Amino acid sequence: MRIRAIVSATLASAGILVAGWQSGTHVADTASATTAGPAGSTGAGTAGGSTASGSGSSSKGSSGSAGSSAAASGSAGSSGSSGTGANAAGTFAGKVVQTRFGAVQVQITVSAGTITDVKALQLTDEDRSSVQISNRAAPLLRAAVLKAQSAKVQTISGATVTSSAYLTSLQAAIDAANL
């Protein structure tokens, strides 16, 4: 009976990851097809863990620790040119937000004042349940943020702590980009 529960949970998690990956790929393809990024816009920094997101790639975000020194130190960082409003371009990392389930940090890629990509550098990973919740919530939050172009989106039911921390870090990245 226990093995059956484990297999069911694993299959459900895989299904959620595939659905999130597909929706994230569709949103990324739409965003990259409609806006071309300037030469200063980069997708620097990679995330480690079970599923990582890369700027412009087809794999979308989950848990792990940040691969860049600015992200690992918890400071908001950016690359590319810094501007204000519609002229902002580059990548901007939000602050690391600590929760009881682990740390959360988000990075955005901005082109011509528009958020073109959102990448979770760190997501809650205190235990297996936290990882599953993060894996389910991250693609949904990413899609909502890209659509809204702000941090003013609804939290994901069942992932309130992760969603709240994600949106707090996102807002810090948006503030760093002067959007």
Residue 111's H or E segment, with its range, is: strand 102-111
Contact 141, 163 (CB under 8 A): yes
User: Which pTM value belongs to this model?
Assistant: 0.56
**Positions of the chain with pLDDT lower than 70, given as ranges:** 1, 5, 7, 11-87
- Which two tokens mark 121? 């550098």
* pLDDT at position 74: 39
Where in the chain are the domains? Answer: 2-176
Contact 123, 61 (CB under 8 A): yes
Tens-place pLDDT, residues 23-54? 554 444 434 333 333 333 333 333 333 333 33
* pLDDT at position 27: 42
